[in-house]
Amino acid sequence: MRFGINTFLFTSPFTNQSTKLFPTFKKWGFETVEIAIEDPAHIDPAFVKAELDKHGLACGSVCACLGLDRDLRGTPEAQKNALEYMTKLIDQMVLLGCPSLIGPVYSAVGRADAVPPAEYKQQWKTVVKHLKTLCQHAEKNRKQICLEPLNRFETDFINTCDQALKMVKDVGSPALKLHLDTFHMNIEEKCQADAIKKAGKLLGHFHACGSDRGTPGNDHIGWEGIAQALKAVKYNGDVVIESFTQDVKVIARAAAIWRQIEPSREEIAVKGLKFLKKALK
């Protein structure tokens, strides 16, 4: 099990210049960096890999960033854009030495509206078709795609572990895994530990966030049960802090961060990491 930090806590977009954050991440004790690549043109993956190596870090995951112009169940153009974008991310992951593409890879974040069952069923078939194509590319490059259920306010498509498992089954690719997040599970699952156990060997990535998107451990989440469940399924992937503050304005708006949840970003990272290392290891 490795501990990582998502770059959205400190910057948007991530560019070559953002690698200046790496020495600080290393000093704080992180082993991996989860890089949110909003546009593949923003980085030179060979340069970023060299900077990671220089500071003894690894790119543990690349976070897919999907808006209305990138949506596997959106307009034909949005579907095409999303598929091309994530294909490019997988290509960059090869150069970054990164194993996992993570996040809500199925649809635009923030698209949440009730649709008739027949329309939902058709959207589901469309996403399955596209994920089959994307997973073929991932398999060829020996990468995995970790699909993240989001809470009901951020998507109407996949909210729970059960729904995510159904998508994995329907796609039928060994490259497709689950990505669970304590913030989203806190809203959607009856019991986070049970959801983790249900995911089992298909759990490929894990986000550890406070119940309010703040510091892990400074909240009401049942971390002891989560730790036991991760141990029960023999999870050995990355555990990443993905919290947000008002400092990065575009992300604060997207994640509905309207107030100062914690004193600082450094506190989220440092205290969160200290807590997670104690609680999960």
Judge contact between 268 and 214, C-beta under 8 A.
yes
266 is catalytic: no
Q: Is the dihedral of CA 269, 263, 244, 92 positive or negative?
A: negative
Q: Which residues contact 156 (CB under 8 A, 6 or more apart)?
A: 111, 112, 113, 114, 115
Classify the C-alpha dihedral 261-235-204-61 as positive or negative.
positive
**Residue 119: CB partners within 8 Å, gap ≥ 6?**
none
With 0-12 / 13-18 / 19 or more C-beta atoms within 10 angstroms meaning exposed / middle / buried, residue 105 is buried
Give the H or E element holding residue 128.
helix 117-140
Select which of 38, 148, 189, 262 is catalytic.
148
Active-site residue, 119 included: no
Tell me how crowded residue 254 is: count the other CB atoms within 10 A of its CB.
Answer: 17
| Candidates 38, 188, 189, 242; catalytic one | 242
Catalytic positions: 148, 242
